[in-house]
Amino acid sequence: MPRFFVTEDHIEGGRAYIDGGDYSHIANVLRMKKGEELTLSAGNGTDYFCSIEEVNKAEKRIELAVVGSWKSFSELPVKLYLFQGLPKADKMELIVQKAVELGAYAVVPVATERAVVKLDAKGREKKQARWQAISESAAKQAGRAVIPEVLPVMSFKEALEMAKGLGAIVMPYEKAEGMEFSRKAIKELHGAASAGIFIGPEGGFSEAEAKAAEEAGARIISLGKRILRTETAGMTVLSIIMFELEEDTAGNTDGNIS
């Protein structure tokens, strides 16, 4: 079923509407008609099951009847923040897309010591807008109830300071203690409200960065004996955490809450 995101003011009582670019997509690309069904999300963790009442060509909006609503079952119980060291070329686009598909709550680009990419203020704004558009597209495809935010590029120090406010921090690093410790660190995420995942760029984290993270409370974990590319490492950690925590997700499609 098609899924679209709107702001909360687009949903009121038993009615809702879609306008802007999604109107054109529904009316001209999908060619949906009166009576057809879709799902809305306002980024508040609730899914709204709707039926099209009218394709209003004069006002360029899709008029909807809200048939039912429920807490989304697609969001993980832990808000996962991916702190990604800036990679080369366009790898960040793939990283954002896959992170959103795998349940990340937000993506934070980080300018680390060994990051080759250097972005000026204008470049950062342009890239952030592009990455946010990719996040929205991936959220629609994955059936997410929120559009994960791609935050502005931060320094490693700024990112670590932000992560200190989260429930847990994990950082894959080649000098980690071993797999048993890593499994324990992942299992300890059960019941946490939020967690930060730090992934280094192509050159990895420096020893000073790893030490600073550990002093900030990060659990330094191993992903095995193989060397993973930066675009693979984040996906791997998110996949492991998603698999571990998926059954903790509190959501259903049986109880109408509206």
**Nearest of 127, 96, 35, 16 to residue 4 by alpha carbon:** 16
Beta bridge partners of 41: 5, 47
CATH number of the domain where residue 50 is located: 2.40.240.20
Among 134, 147, 154, which residue's Cα sits nearest to residue 85?
154
H-helix or E-strand spanning residue 71:
strand 61-71
What pLDDT score does 78 carry? 96
| pLDDT for res 253 | 41
Half-sphere exposure of 17 (CA within 13 A, CB side): 12
Scanning 38-112, the segments in alpha helix (DSSP H) are: 91-101
Taking residue 191's Cβ as centre, other Cβ atoms within 10 Å add up to: 11
**258 occurs within a structural domain:** no
Q: CA–CA separation, 117 vs 253, rounded Å?
A: 44
Are the beta carbons of 249 and 75 closer than 8 angstroms?
yes
Same-domain pairing of 229 and 131: yes
**Are 161 and 230 in a shared domain?**
yes
DSSP letter for 8, please.
Answer: G
Domain of 124 in residue numbering reads as 79-248
Which of these three, 25, 47, 71, is where a domain ends?
71
Q: What is the pLDDT of residue 91?
A: 95
pLDDT, position 62: 97
Tell me whether residue 190 is in a domain. yes
What's the rounded Cα separation, in Å, for the pair 110 and 159?
A: 7
In a domain? residue 257: no
Cα–Cα dist 101/70, whole Å: 21
- Mark 192-226 as b/e (b = at least 16 C-beta within 10 Å): eebbbbbbbbbebbeeebbeebeeeebbbbbbeee
pTM over 0.75: yes
Same domain, yes or no, for 227 and 125? Answer: yes
Reduced to 3 states (helix: H, G, I; strand: E, B; else coil), residue 166 is: coil
Residues of the chain with pLDDT under 50: 251-255, 257-258
Domain stops at, among 18, 52, 71: 71
Residue 15 lies in a domain: yes
The two beta strands, 3-5 and 37-41, are: parallel
Compute the radius of gyration of the chain from its Cα atoms: 20
**171 and 205 housed in the same domain:** yes
7 membership: H or E segment, kind and range: none
How many other CB atoms are found less than 10 A from the CB of residue 144? 24
On whether both 39 and 117 belong to a single domain, the answer is no
pLDDT tens per residue, range 46-95: 899 999 999 999 999 999 999 999 888 889 999 999 999 999 989 999 99
Does 67 lie in the same domain as 107? Answer: no
Q: Are 64 and 88 in a shared domain?
A: no
Q: What is the pLDDT of residue 117?
A: 80
The number of folded domains in the chain is 2
Q: In this structure, are 184 and 200 located in the same domain?
A: yes
- Does residue 253 form part of some domain? no
Q: How high is the pLDDT of residue 251?
A: 46
Q: Are both 242 and 151 inside the same structural domain?
A: yes
